[in-house]
Structure 1
């Protein structure tokens, strides 16, 4: 079954955490699909990945730019996987497809919004009941990621 990692964002926003996780995926040779909740968010993430660091570059593209099958990191608001990604990242409450086709899925959510947290608890329960291997990561006071479950 797929490993599903939940990242409870409280100390740092998505814009700081996502690029680091994507870099780690690429270091492992994995292709990634990042699914956002809207086309507007896809455009914002596209801009972020071009500008998040002066020292780093994350090769990526969007579904709208064409040739999505050639992208190491594909940003989308739909549940497609044309680049044959091994990893699916869900942000902004995006539902995503059946996660069984992936090595790993990552769910990044705003831990400061109780409605979002409640929704992700339901997702956790459903994915666990479906037999996926689930892990829950939260940042400690110093900003380090700690596996809580």
Structure 2
């Protein structure tokens, strides 16, 4: 199980999440996107339709008739109704249910860095969990620093 911690310092969630989602889907995977706040879930839903004029990223918010068919599903809880093996926790909150996936993306900013540090330390001693910490440089490029 791999957990990638993404510290959002230069590029906001609105630029980082679509890139992650595109890569997961391009590799034939499915993605569960988790955010507790309904306003954030609605913003993500709109973002995935409009982040680039020529893009199309098939997705839906959880709770519909076609959840199991969605390559990317936006949900309040870590319940992969779409059969996803990849989960993106986008509201800065770590959820241990993410450990049931093959890969977790934990995205956080300065407001939630304390909680991310607690999660990093807690996962450090878990067998079978590979942690990676990604930070942006001043140009917005990602570098693995741990």
Q: CA deviation at 1:97?
A: 4.7
Unaligned runs of 5+ in 1: none
The alignment yields a C-alpha RMSD, in angstroms, of: 1.3
Alignment TM-score, normalising by the size of structure 1: 0.91
Tell me the equivalent position of 1:90. Answer: 89
Unaligned runs of 5+ in 2: none
Structure 1 stretches of 4+ with a deviation exceeding 4 A read none
Q: 2:144 aligns with which of 141, 144, 147?
A: 147
Tell me the equivalent position of 1:79. Answer: 78
Q: CA deviation at 1:43?
A: 1.0
Query: Residues 64 and 98 of structure 1: is their aligned pair in 2 closer, same or farther, counting only changes over 3 Å?
Result: closer
Distance 1:94 1:66 in 2: 28
* Alignment map for 1:1-149 (pairs within 5 Å): 2-110=1-109, 112-113=110-111, 116-131=112-127, 132-149=129-146
Deviations, residues 30-80 of structure 1 (Å, cap 9, x unaligned): 100000122221111101111111011110011133321110000011121
Alignment TM-score, normalising by the size of structure 2: 0.93
Q: Are the equivalent residues in 2 in contact too, given 1:79–1:97 (CA < 8 A)?
A: no
Distance 1:145 1:136 in 2: 10
Q: Name the count of aligned residue pairs.
A: 145
